[in-house]
Amino acid sequence: MSPSALSKSLQRLRETLGDPLFVRNAHGLKPTAHALQFKSQLPAILQGLYQITLPPVFTPHTSHRQFSFAILESAYQTLLPSYIGPLLKQAPLITLDIYGWAEKSMQALLQGQIDFGITARDLHPTSDLRLNNLPEGINQSTLFTDQQICLVRVGHPILNTLEVGGWNMESYLQMSHVQVRCEGNDWWALDYHLAESGRHRHISSTLPDFYGAASVCAHSDLIFTLPSSFVAHAKKLYPLVQLPLPLTFSPLAYVLLWHKRNDDEPGHKWIRETICASIAQAMKA
């Protein structure tokens, strides 16, 4: 919209609602309390209106529907190949818009800006990203659980320690680490777990993605702790050696997320069921 068209639309809204909606201050325009109330309520209302326009049934092979996903980077190689084929084979005319899972993806899911999320949630009870700490209105289905494992470069000095049986938590904590930032957090559940006993990892480098962290690991003496399902993909690209995590720690869950308002919507339900069935079949192979 042009500035003049936007101004006229805003004026009509102000007259209709009897509220200025935005007031000018030293930093620009600030929303009123009424406008903030709209911000919290409108996404669900608009999503409901959208669903009213949808047909009461979903026929995969003739549907032209568009579905959007936010997917954690480590799940691209691990999970996407399992279900993308079955989805598009049965529904060749649908459009799948896929974005990376990021700090604001959960909010986008709540507001109806994306349809599905696929990410990892911790099963450790103290993590901010634990599975039982999802926002109200978000439903989930666990796709599979995974364990943490370690990677170091070929020829890393720590491999000599491993050969003589000296690989333990103390030697692990004496190393410098490369970490992947998750939803804006530099710490993972593992770090909070260690902090409970007054222990900490020395994180020398924090990156936004797993492939970048694997590259740093392959070209330095930093150790990379990551979900075991991503190890095979990293080792295809770089000369890396796998080590066990030298402490007992709870697994993490890869989950499919959606808003409860879409529980019974036929298209959403078909997508969820196809993804879950395809991944379950792939995990058995």
Whether residue 207 is found in the same domain as residue 158: yes
**Model pLDDT, residue 246:** 93
Whether residue 31 is found in the same domain as residue 100: no
Whether residue 97 is found in the same domain as residue 223: no
Domain count, the chain: 3
Last residue of a domain, one of 52, 72, 88: 52
Whether residue 204 is found in the same domain as residue 156: yes
**Model pLDDT, residue 252:** 87
Which domain CATH number covers 135? 3.40.190.10
**Model pLDDT, residue 153:** 97
**Model pLDDT, residue 125:** 63
Token pair for 246: 């030298």
Q: Domain span at residue 161?
A: 148-250
Whether residue 130 is found in the same domain as residue 258: yes
> Mean pLDDT in runs of 10 for the chain (285 residues)?
89 91 88 87 77 80 94 87 94 95 90 92 65 83 93 94 84 95 80 89 93 96 94 94 92 92 92 95 82
pTM as predicted: 0.75
Contacts of 277 (CB under 8 A, 6+ apart): 86
Sign (positive or negative) of CA dihedral 235, 152, 242, 179: negative
Contacts of 159 (CB under 8 A, 6+ apart): 152, 241
Task: Write out pLDDT tens, residues 67-116.
Answer: 999 998 888 888 989 999 999 999 999 999 999 998 889 999 998 899 99
Whether residue 139 is found in the same domain as residue 156: no
Whether residue 167 is found in the same domain as residue 235: yes
Contacts of 240 (CB under 8 A, 6+ apart): 151, 152, 153, 154, 214, 217, 218, 231, 234
Whether residue 264 is found in the same domain as residue 231: no
d(CA 152, CA 220): 9
| b/e burial code for range 96-108 (CB count within 10 A of at least 16 → b) | beeeebbeebbeb
Which domain CATH number covers 46? 1.10.10.10
Environment class of 264 (CB within 10 Å of its CB; exposed 0-12, middle 13-18, buried 19+): exposed
**Model pLDDT, residue 43:** 76
- Say if residues 30 and 13 touch (Cβ distance below 8 Å): no
Whether residue 170 is found in the same domain as residue 215: yes
Last residue of a domain, one of 36, 52, 68: 52
**Model pLDDT, residue 32:** 92
**Model pLDDT, residue 126:** 58
- Say if residues 169 and 200 touch (Cβ distance below 8 Å): no
CB atoms within 10 A of CB 144: 15
**Nearest-10 Cα torsion for 91, 96, 101, 104:** -120
Whether residue 68 is found in the same domain as residue 126: yes
| CA dist 87 → 67, 69, 96, 267 (Å) | 11, 13, 9, 12
Whether residue 152 is found in the same domain as residue 240: yes
d(CA 87, CA 275): 8
Whether residue 177 is found in the same domain as residue 231: yes
Task: Write out pLDDT tens, residues 224-251.
Answer: 999 999 999 999 999 999 999 999 888 8
